[in-house]
Structure 1
Amino acid sequence: MTRTHPHGTSESAPTGTPANAGQQDDTFVQEWRQWHRAHEQALADPHGFLAVTGLHWLTGQPQRFAGVPGQWQTGPDGVVVDLAGGEEITIDGRAVTGRYGFGPIEERGGVTVGIDGGVLEVARRGGHDILRPRHPDNPLRTAFRGTPAYPPSVRWVLSGRYVPFESPRPTTVGAAVEGLQHVYDAPGRVEFAVDGVPLSLTAFNGRSPGSLLVLFTDATSGVTTYAANRSLAVDAPDERGTVTVDFNRATNLPCAYTDFATCPLPPAENRLSVAIEAGEKIPYERLAAGDPAQPSPAPTTGRKS
């Protein structure tokens, strides 16, 4: 992940005051609804995470998987597929037959190839090469009816402070798949307060330069919100290190919806004791199944230790 640039810090401690307390309620609610609608549309993309139909772990032994063309294996030279007569995959719009080597895939990287009826993600997660087929007609996707969430409230739009570490700290966290680990560089922490209680969250690098991502649990986790984790994107700090922490935009990770995800868990220090009654709640799909959504063990056969 791209390292963020160090930022200055504010001299005053975060107060927990809503960052946009003067904003008109109608505008605030409308903007949140538009954001959440776009977030759900991305989740329900024809080849998004709701379309994933399986999670397959590659080993040094050739294997076939239901609904996936070819015989797959991995090793020091990366992922290799052997396609039998009549089988093909599509890479960059080109039909591929026979034997094809993907080469080593970097951690958290991946390649998407075309297969009959959908796409196939060839990726590396937690030091292991995996396959994830995605089909638009997957029932989880076609039956998706949105994600319940707390009503948006300016109470949960907080002013905070970003405190950079002297250098990014490699941080090992667990995963939604039991026994798997992820390592991220943490460039700093975000400090804020809720009802006068000072709190902080270790932050990872976000999607855009300078932005941040925090993973957390709180007192609502496993009660009204997903038990394992939620995520929150934080815009880049200003020149004084000031950030806005808008918990209304706390979202579920893919593992809240499907067991075929390898999502990271929050670092231990990001388990908040307060109840963050904002953002997305437990998905309807988990509620219907009566699933507490705790990490489940991964297959161990052929897995590296």
Structure 2
Amino acid sequence: MSTDAQHQEQDAAREWQRWHEGRIVAVAAPYGPLSLTGTHWLSDYPEGLIPAVPGHWREDGDGVVLTAVAQDGVLVDGEPLTGEVRLGADRGPVDASRVARGDRRLMVLRREGLWAVRDFDPGSPARHAFSTIEATAHDPRWTLPGTFRPYGEGRSVRVANADGVERGLGLGGEIAFTVDGVACTLQAAIEPDGSLWAVFADATSGKSSYRFRFLRPEAPDDDGGVSVDFNRALLPPCAFADHFICPFPPPGNTLPAPVPAGERNRIDA
């Protein structure tokens, strides 16, 4: 190996280490995924009262109406709520959600026409039990050249989600690459910034790694070239809290070979 190649590998390993450390910090942050203590679908509470969640919540067409009294201790946009307010789905980070009670953040979620309230609590047991993310050290053999082949039009497939409910998963194309001489493809969604998102499993899933993982390649180049870097395979949010509704891999996204790279499991103290 040339000196330049050695330096490139060392740089890639250092960059991966910074990424890995940043992931641990983000997961353990006060409003990271470990702080999610509940996803409450309003259709399950027709009377509008959600256990352990303050206020009265009801669906109203394309929004949610929250009613609270002073004793509920609810803040909306930083101000105490006494009366009612109409809310839409939260789009920003958790700590920017409109509704709060003490350190807790109550986020409004909409999926396939259904409304839910998510409860994020920095004092969650899961957050305080967390130690680190088990991950395989950077291995240049798992940074693979690939080609993205967009579909003529977007597709949607029904897949099971982590909460046991089947939902639609939008797909914009497939990533083609080779592992040890074997041609593989992963169906992927196209994010608003042009980057890709694939949900995949492999021969390690449910054994030495979590039952499925995410891959987020950068946007393809003009010729469709894309880096398939399994060193940055991610644990899905539901690996940190049972209350996320992550989609399972769509048909065809389970690789026959083991992928001993990237994030593997959550480790608690």
Normalising by structure 2, report the TM-score.
0.89
* Counterpart residue number, 2:251: 268
- With over 3 angstroms needed to count, the CA separation of the structure-2 counterparts of 1:108 and 1:171, relative to structure 1, is farther
Which consecutive residues of structure 1, in runs of 5 or more, have no partner in the other structure? 1-19, 289-305
Residue equivalent to 1:45: 29
How much has 1:109 moved relative to structure 2?
A: 11
For 2:261 and 2:84, the matched residues in 1 are separated by 50
Amino acid of the residue matched to residue 279 of structure 1? G
**Other-structure match for 1:237:** 220
Matching residue within 180, 184, 193 for 1:209: 193
Residues 229-281 of structure 1, C-alpha deviations (whole Å, 9 max, x = no match): 20011111111111100000001011112111111111111111111110111
- 1:243–1:150 CA distance, 2 compared to 1 (3 A): same
Name the structure 1 match of 2:139: 153
2:156 corresponds to 1:173: no
Structure 1 contact 21–154 (Cα < 8 Å) conserved: no
When residues 170 and 21 of structure 1 are mapped into structure 2, their CA distance, relative to the original with a 3 A threshold, is farther
CA shift for structure 1 position 116? 2.0
Q: How many positions carry a matched residue from both structures?
A: 263
Matched position secondary structure for 1:251? coil
Give 2:207's match in structure 1, choosing from 213, 223, 227. 223
Are 1:72 and 2:57 matched, yes or no? yes
Q: Which residue of 2 aligns with 1:33?
A: 17
Q: CA deviation at 1:97?
A: 1.9
Q: Quick check: 1:164 aligned with 2:150?
A: yes
Structure with more of its chain in strand, by fraction: 2
Distance 1:169 1:238, change over 3 A: same
Letter in 2 for 1:182: G
Query: Residues of 2 paired with 1:81 and 1:241: CA distance?
Result: 47
Q: Quote the residue 1:130 is aligned against.
A: 116
Structure 1 window deviating more from structure 2 (269-278 vs 113-122): it is 113-122
Secondary structure of residue in 2 paired with 1:69: coil
Q: Is contact 1:175–1:182 with CA below 8 Å preserved after alignment?
A: no
Where structure 2 has 5 or more consecutive residues not aligned to the other structure, the ranges are: none
2: CA distance, partners of 1:81 / 1:106: 14
Quote the Cα distance in structure 2 between the aligned partners of 1:222 and 1:21: 35
Instruction: Say which of 68, 79, 82 aligns to 1:97.
Output: 82
CA RMSD of aligned residues (A): 2.5
Residues of 1 paired with 2:90 and 2:132: CA distance? 33
- TM-score normalized with structure 1 length: 0.79
The alignment status of 1:252 with 2:238, answered yes or no, reads no
Aligned identity (percent) is: 36
Q: Matched residue of 1:273: which SS?
A: coil
Aligned in 2, Cα 1:98/1:74: closer, same or farther, shift over 3 Å? same
- Which structure dedicates a bigger proportion of its chain to helix? 2
> Structure 1, residues 139-163: CA drift from partner, whole Å, max 9, x if none?
2112221110112100000001111
Question: Relative to 1, partners in 2 of residues 1:21 and 1:63: Cα closer, same or farther, differing over 3 Å?
Answer: farther
| SS, match of residue 206 in structure 2 | coil
Counterpart Cα distance in 2 of 1:112 and 1:226:
33
